[in-house]
Structure 1
Amino acid sequence: MAGTYLIAPDPDGARLTRIVRGVDQTGAEQDIRVVEERPLTIYLNGQEIVTAMTIGDHPAYLAVGFLLNQGMLRPEDVILGVDHDEEVEAVVVRTARQTDYEEKLRKKTRTSGCAVGTVFGDMMAGLEGLVLPAARLPVSDLYALAAAINTTPSLYLAAGAIHGTVLCQGRRPLVYMEDVGRHNAVDKIAGWMALERVGAADKLLYTTGRLTSEMVIKTARMGVPALASRSGFTAWGVEIARQVGLTLVGRMRGHRFVCLSGAERLVWDVDPATIPDEPARHRRKSAGEAP
């Protein structure tokens, strides 16, 4: 399955997990794989912006995507370089434009992210007048993507305690990113798209996390017209999705799903009764959030 991806999860990555010994409910010893967390400090030119807790893979994509999704980088900005120092756990993004975000850094909105996300400045900035492409979404593509993604070897299946976000085109998953916070995962995809100059108009984002306002805002700012999840919705997330014309599909389990924004863009090209239910293993591990 990983061969169909441009970037796939690396559940065997040496720095991503470690073995921890504990005891179970009977007192028996068990060795358990747990996900590593490490800090990554992001700089924009000479200014320190934030220190994020992350699993540590794809730091350049995470840094650029974070800055883009916070509005600190503009789509037209020329990025002169992205330098990662693994020893000091820092990434410096250098641009041709001189930047100064001291005022924006003083104004923070704490978000509902599992890793305690933070949005700088006005959360809704950049959405004024934004209308996403009215891309049609075949229901058969949703089912095909869910089946492929849910059976892909991943840290989610190997160790839990992690979120995944997948950039898709048609029924093909392209880039699968994981992290301790769903916001980090989607930022990595935003950074990959920016640095690799990949367009968004024909793409869909699939996430294992909740469809919150910040997830909807980030998807909209990226220009991606559809967002789908195994999990549920928040009211503000739905409201913003309807405002910008984002197709929003949640609670995807087997043949079941709910669309709360953009249902008129769905193409009903398959009978749900012909779609098999998902394996019990995935039903047990998906109560709405990654284990």
Structure 2
Amino acid sequence: MDLTELRVAPDPADPRLTRRVAGLDEAGRPVETSVTMERPLTLYLNGQEIVTMMTILDRPEDLAVGYLLNQGMLRAEDRLTAVDYDEDLGVVVVRTEARTDFEEKLRKKTLTSGCAQGTAFGDLMEGFAQVRLDPEARLRTSDLYRLLHRINTIPSLYLEAGAIHGCALCRADQPIVYMEDVGRHNAVDKIAGWMFREGVSGADKLFYTTGRLTSEMVIKTVRMGIPILLSRSGFTAWGVDLAREANLTLIGRAKGKRFTVLAGESRLIFDADTRYVPEESAKHWRKNSAEALDAGA
């Protein structure tokens, strides 16, 4: 598969993804703004209902497959026989050759730190200790800065309407796939599903997210076999501990010329002169960030 052409989803110009809403601004003046749409999607695996998710519904097939992978309900060696989406019913059905019964797994639930409190079924750490990430993977800081700039120039639903998270699968300084959703874990799962369906390995890749570097984000990245995780947001303590345990390179607070690495620092090659790295444009600051508050955004 050709991975040189960037794949972007969703299309921020898609009229199904946003709605114009009238209101008032801080001075009581009439204002109209775009808001992001979200809709329920119910996922079935081999006829068994698994979960209903809130999503923007732009990549339901990838979301379904990635969700099942990251919940341990699909394995890398499983073969899909069908992935069917019914837009009218808001249902996606995944079928595999393997016989599946997850009644017991579905009974054990963990409310995670995902947006609106996500749910992990069964053992949250299932298969985590068995993953071996590539210890030879490297990232030059010059490539990291170019990557951040390129991601910020991708047309996005966030810049159109906000209330959205973005994720990108990358190689060195080039994003390969960029996806967004109302929940950061939905965006992660979409990319995991795309990788599985297209047969793309994570061994020589880097994963970028706008979301917090929590335990669940680290676990999903490790399960995807990706050795470097990068975010513009901050860390949780357990996320850092798990990254160190798995030898995952964990880079957070990456904005403009600044970043912090708290795990797997041996993969970084510090070759960039930060005097020549530009600061990030204010239009890319996420709502409620320290920079945005200081600027009065």
TM over 0.5: yes
The equivalences for 1:133-172 within 5 A come to: 133-134=134-135, 135-172=137-174
Q: Report deviation, 1:189.
A: 0.1
Aligned to 2:7: 6
**CA separation in 2, counterparts of 1:217 and 1:35?**
28
- Which residue of structure 2 lines up, in the alignment, with residue 213 of structure 1? 215
Match of 2:50 in 1: 49
Aligned counterparts of 1:280 and 1:40: Cα–Cα separation in 2: 34
Q: Secondary structure at the match of 2:69?
A: helix
- One-letter identity of the residue aligned with 2:86: D
Q: Which amino acid aligns with 1:111?
A: T
Q: Which residue of 2 aligns with 1:195?
A: 197
Partners of 2:157 and 2:49 in 1: CA distance: 30
Q: What's the offset of the Cα at 1:114?
A: 1.4
Deviation of 1:116 after TM superposition, in Å, equals 2.2
Name 1:94's counterpart in structure 2. Answer: 95
Kept in 1: contact 2:166–2:180 (CA 8 A):
yes
Pairing partner for 2:253 from 251, 269, 280: 251
Deviation at 1:285, TM superposition (A): 4.1
What is the CA–CA distance in structure 2 between the aligned matches of 1:247 and 1:168, rounded to whole Å? 14
Could you tell me how far apart the structure 1 residues matched to 2:175 and 2:160 are? 20
Which position in structure 2 is the counterpart of 1:103?
104
Q: 1:174 and 2:176 equivalent?
A: yes
Matched residue of 2:23: which SS? strand
Letter in 1 for 2:47: G
Contact 1:213–1:237 under 8 Å retained in 2: yes
User: Judging changes above 3 Å, is the alpha-carbon distance between structure 1 residues 283 and 7 closer, same or farther for their aligned structure 2 residues?
Assistant: closer
* Alpha-carbon contact 2:9-2:180 (below 8 Å) kept: no
Amino acid at match of 2:264: G
Q: Which amino acid aligns with 1:99?
A: T
Separation of aligned partners in 1, 2:197 and 2:8? 14
- The answer to whether the 8 Å contact 2:131/2:225 transfers is no
- Compute the displacement of 1:170 (Å): 1.4
Counterpart of 2:277? Answer: 275
User: What per-residue deviation string (whole Å, max 9, x for no partner) do you get for residues 135-157 of structure 1?
Assistant: 11111121111101112220111
Higher mean displacement: 267-276 or 93-102 = 267-276
Match of 1:113?
A: 114
Query: What is the rounded CA distance, in whole Å, between the counterparts of 1:155 and 1:93 in structure 2?
Result: 27
C-alpha separation between the residues in 2 aligned to 1:76 and 1:283?
40
Q: Which runs of 5+ in 1 are unaligned?
A: none
Query: Secondary structure in 2 aligned to 1:131?
Result: coil
Please, what TM-score do these two structures have when normalized by structure 2?
Answer: 0.94
Which residue is 1:73 aligned to? 74
Equivalent position SS for 1:249: strand
Residue 115 of structure 1 and its aligned partner are, at CA, apart by 3.2
Distance 1:28 1:4 in 2: 44
Cα distance, 1:286–1:172 mapped onto 2, change above 3 Å? farther
Tell me whether 81-90 or 150-159 shows the greater mean CA deviation.
Answer: 150-159
Aligned partner of 1:124 in structure 2 is: 125
**Alpha carbons of 1:31 and 1:4: their partners in 2 closer, same or farther (altered >3 Å)?**
farther
In the alignment of these two chains, the number of paired residues is 289
Distance 1:284 1:104 in 2: 36
Distance in 1 of aligned mates of 2:216 and 2:12:
27
Question: Given the superposition, is the C-alpha separation of residues 13 and 253 from structure 1 closer, same or farther in structure 2, using an over 3 Å criterion?
Answer: same
- Deviation string 1:97-146 (CA, Å, 9 cap, x unpaired) is 01000000000000111132110011111012322111111111211111
Provide the rounded CA distance (Å) in 2 between the counterparts of 1:141 and 1:268. Answer: 10
Instruction: Specify the alignment match of 1:33 in structure 2.
Output: 34
Q: Does the aligned pair in 2 maintain the 1:9–1:153 contact within 8 Å?
A: no
Per the TM alignment, residue 239 of structure 1 is displaced from its structure 2 partner at its CA by: 0.6
* 1:226-264 CA-partner distances (Å, limit 9, x unpaired): 100000000000111111111100001111100001111
Structure 2 unaligned regions, length at least 5: none
Percent identity between the aligned chains?
62
Q: Quick check: 1:53–1:115 contact (8 Å CA) kept in 2? A: no
> Contact 2:10/2:58 (CA < 8 Å) preserved in 1?
no
